Structure 1
Amino acid sequence: MLGGLTGFTNNTGTDWGERLLNTVASKTIRHMFTQSESVEVAVRCYPSSKLLQGSIDSFKMSGSGLVIRREFRTEEMSFETDAVSIDFSCVMQGQIRLKQPTQAVVQVTLTQADINQSFQAELVQKRLQDISTPALTDLSGGQPVSFTEVQVQLLPENQVQIFAKADLGEKGLVPLSMKSTLSVERRRRIRFKDPQFQPEAVPEESREISQTLTSAFAEILDNMVDLDRFNLDGVTMRINRLETQGDKLIFSGYAQIERVPNNP
């Protein structure tokens, strides 16, 4: 179920048009997500009379517990747009329609638990299950290989420790362990750079095959996370920077908004 909806406190003297737009914008933004714990929206327009012509100085949203595409949870997300031009007649009908595209500064926070839960999502599972490359099937006796039980631990300086298991079918499960450094490529792709096999977390008798499988797993991860696969309808996300802070991974960047998205 959708969570609570809270609006930022309006300044004294804000007219009915700005209050109406705050209400409609709150409802619209909330419905961009499959679930939400809280969504706060504020519209800035001075003087407020500009609103009747559809001119807004900025539009700000802050939300928590937001779920995108039914399976990808974000702990926190906030954005603030540049000046926005809207069709005010649509606001009267309970809708927001942009007259022209706009940009927004965006920050997204994922917890370590969010990241680990995302590995259970169908979109991610498709990339990790029943892999039949020659290099892997040679190790499994000709059977497809799947990577399961993925657990990510966030470390300082954008590093991550990753544990997983490779399912070799009749040959059983092989534990994997690696460290890698997260980085951003072309503002849209998350890279797992400089993967390093961690033998101390693997039984000695499995280390040789585990190292080979870990290398293959690292390559799959490195080609997995492309933001264009997760964009909301009408919104293109780009990352300028990422940073690990304790058990959280924080992204900052921008969004190009062509139109207000439909429901997920």
Structure 2
Amino acid sequence: MPTSLSLSASHITLLSAVAAIFLLAGFVKGVVGLGLPTVAVGLLGLFMPPLQAAALLIVPSLVTNVWQLLAGGRFLWLLRRLWLMLLGIVAGTLLGANFMAPDASGRATVFLGVALVAYAVLGLAAIRFSVSAGREKTWSPLIGLITGLVTAATAVFVIPAVPYLQALNLEKDELIQALGLSFTVSTIAMAIGLAQGGALQMEGAAISVMALLPALGGMFIGQWMRGKISATLFRRCFFIGLLLLGLHLSSHLWR
């Protein structure tokens, strides 16, 4: 009996921690349009292996990304513009899932964090990058392929897709919807890769479904807050969010 009570208590503690983590991750995503997988995987890593954390991410990430994707009116236009990048994401993620081991050492995560910090600092310094329409067909599949490989190694699909999408000079709402489209495809590809590797288990799937409610609640609050701020303040919040995420990921350097 004591063992049963102890097991029940540990489960309650774990579920409470998962709920709090996804509430925070959803809020961050609602405000800046990204960050749910980065925050969730980073904090879940305190309680479980990275591969298990990635599996819990699937349902909240997919649903919140589809919500973000459908919130704007430019879906078909973005799909026609970004389809080469999306194909690259799928190819890179599935290719990486077949030959890349889980990021047990944390090196890939650290490199990702450093890249995010560098990009955020450049953004806060108002140094802007731009990709012309004529170069998109060249850059899009390469950016997608690299993003997919990074996703397979870290379960985070931010670099280099996010800097690239911002370099396309999209409007605020278009950028948010484009991020939702990119992240939706990345989540589906990651789920397929995890399923092929046998990392998706019924218990993990059940907890992933349970994590959906706090993630949606946090995202709703974050979106409400985003609607109250100007484009300039949004841009600042966007880069500050990336900076904090990058510092969190690169903190492995000092552990």
Which structure has the highest helix share of the two?
2
Q: Highest Rg: 1 or 2?
A: 1
TM-score, length basis structure 2? 0.26
Task: Pick the structure with more strand per residue.
Answer: 1
- Normalising by structure 1, report the TM-score: 0.26
